[in-house]
Chains A and B, each alone.
Chain A
Amino acid sequence: GAVVSQHPSWVICKSGTSVKIECRSLDFQATTMFWYRQFPKQSLMLMATSNEGSKATYEQGVEKDKFLINHASLTLSTLTVTSAHPEDSSFYICSARSGSSYEQYFGPGTRLTVT
């Protein structure tokens, strides 16, 4: 099956710094990738849709200047959390869509802790 990886799997950073999370589709090309965040004991909330070669589309309430998304190739999308604050601590998960079935394949997630 299709494999999506994320790096790093966990990261701790200090308040005010920026953190970059990578999402890669390992064995297929993904024209569209999605970024979600998940707070403890809650479901996934879509943050943004990332299309290769174009600007990301952000969901209502998500600050695009704080969560910078780049989808420079068909196998890589990055999420940069800028000037991170403790309230940004969360589980960030990406997914990549393959073909026309719209089946999504999810990465293992990145746990971000901001101290």
Chain B
Amino acid sequence: KQEVTQIPAALSVPEGENLVLNCSFTDSAIYNLQWFRQDPGKGLTSLLLIQSSQREQTSGRLNASLDKSSGRSTLYIAASQPGDSATYLCAVNTNAGKSTFGDGTTLTVKP
């Protein structure tokens, strides 16, 4: 059974810092991995999708990497802003489309 772990559970940084969120998974037989952002009381916003054959994806200040063999992914946020404060979830997807989510990292960026 796939298990997804996100570390740290919570992170507080001053504005402008670069930061890394970690996601690890136990079963490397994945189809792709997706990073989401969730604001309090809201649904999920997709940030980046990495196919299993890819090593990284970039979107603006966000960069996600994937090392399937070691079961790890990282989300790098450059020059953090208060508006980046949210919970970040990673989800590992099988080729059947099933997703297993981590518990998330709650990020607070202080002005």
Contact = CB atoms under 8 A, between A and B. Distances in A.
B28 interface: no
A contact face: mostly helix, strand, loop, or mixed: strand
Nearest to A108: B43
A109 B43 contact: yes
Size class of A's contact patch? Answer: 20 to 34
A95 B46 CA distance: 11
B89 interface: yes
Given A42-B103, A43-B89, A103 B46 contact: yes
Sorting the interface of chain B by its residue count into under 10, 10 to 19, 20 to 34 or 35 or more gives 20 to 34
Interface stretch (B12-20, B66-74, B75-83, B91-99): B91-99
23 contacts: A1-B46, A32-B97, A34-B97, A34-B98, A34-B99, A42-B103, A43-B101, A43-B103, A44-B101, A45-B101, A95-B44, A97-B97, A102-B32, A102-B95, A102-B97, A104-B34, A104-B91, A104-B93, A104-B99, A106-B43, A106-B44, A106-B45, A106-B46
